[in-house]
Amino acid sequence: MRFIETLKNNELSLVVSCPKNDYAFAKAAWENGADAVKVHLNVHHHASGTDFKTLAEERDFIDRLIADCPVPVGVVVGGSPEVVGADIANVLNTDVDFLSLYLHDATPAVANQTKVTKMFACNYTYALDEIKMYQKVGAEVAELSIVHPDDYGKPLTMRDILNYKMIIDAIDIPALLPTQKKVKTSEVQALKDIGFKAIMVGAVVTSNDLDTYAKTIKSFRDAIDAAV
């Protein structure tokens, strides 16, 4: 099943953003209940402090992951329009299922392609009027990465919930929550209630210790399955 179909068919899906391009971590994600797995290329990841390489440098890992993974695999293409432009054709020649990147890093070549699902992120600088137009520029999923970097890892607040809800109510495509805040499994129900279609757990709530990482994913899987 494709990523976009998973989001539409499930009440709430679990996506895992791998903290490193390591097969063991990707495998632990799907074995512990991920509905999709996301990996990175061409970026410095703020939350994990990891520098991710080009597709050419990561090709063996990406090919093995796509061949073995039983759920959709997505790729962050890059962290600037120049880098995205240089590698997007290469990425589209793989069998990845979805692309993930900020709208301000996306190029027309990303938006106009129809091979894979487009998940565009917005950050804390985006106006609501901009996000309302996401579907008009080809977005199929909106990643609400609206937390200021200074607030990464802090507790989820009701103001966060309000801001997420305003965006979700203003758009007509599935919304995904990345765990920029220290989201707890006990808060999954509240996130489902305001209309999120997926929670993407990443470095803020997981760990670079493989066992802890796996247990965290399983705990979110259980919380999503228990949500009503």
DSSP character string of 142-160: EEE--S-GGGTTSPP-HHH
Chain mean pLDDT for the chain: 94
75 membership: H or E segment, kind and range: strand 73-76
pLDDT at 143: 98
Asked if 12 contacts 192 with a C-beta cutoff of 8 angstroms, the reply is yes
Contacts 24+ apart (CB under 8 A), 158-164: 161/190, 161/191, 161/194, 164/191, 164/194, 164/196
Q: Name the token pair of 197.
A: 């279609």
pLDDT at 49 exceeding the cut of 60: no
Query: Residue 114's domain spans which residues?
Result: 3-226
pLDDT at 184: 97
pLDDT at 60: 93
pLDDT at 97: 97
Q: Give 163-205 pLDDT, tens digit per residue.
A: 999 999 999 999 999 999 999 999 999 999 999 999 999 989 9
pLDDT at 45: 56
Q: Give 56-66 pLDDT, tens digit per residue.
A: 899 999 999 99
Residue 50 maps to which CATH number?
3.20.20.70
pLDDT at 88: 93
pLDDT at 111: 95
* pLDDT bracket for residue 50 (50, 70, 90): low
pLDDT at 90: 93
DSSP reduced 3-state for 99: strand
pLDDT at 48 exceeding the cut of 60: no
CA–CA distance, 97 with 5 (Å, rounded to integer): 11
Q: Give 115-134 pLDDT, tens digit per residue.
A: 999 999 999 999 999 999 99
Q: Left, alpha or beta for 42 (phi > 0: left; psi -120 to 50: alpha)? A: left
pLDDT at 51: 76
For the segment 45-56, the average pLDDT, to the nearest whole number, is: 69
Domain count along the chain: 1
Asked if 198 contacts 15 with a C-beta cutoff of 8 angstroms, the reply is yes
pLDDT at 1: 84
Percent of the chain's residues with pLDDT above 70: 97
pLDDT at 46 exceeding the cut of 60: no
> Does the predicted model carry a pTM greater than 0.85?
yes
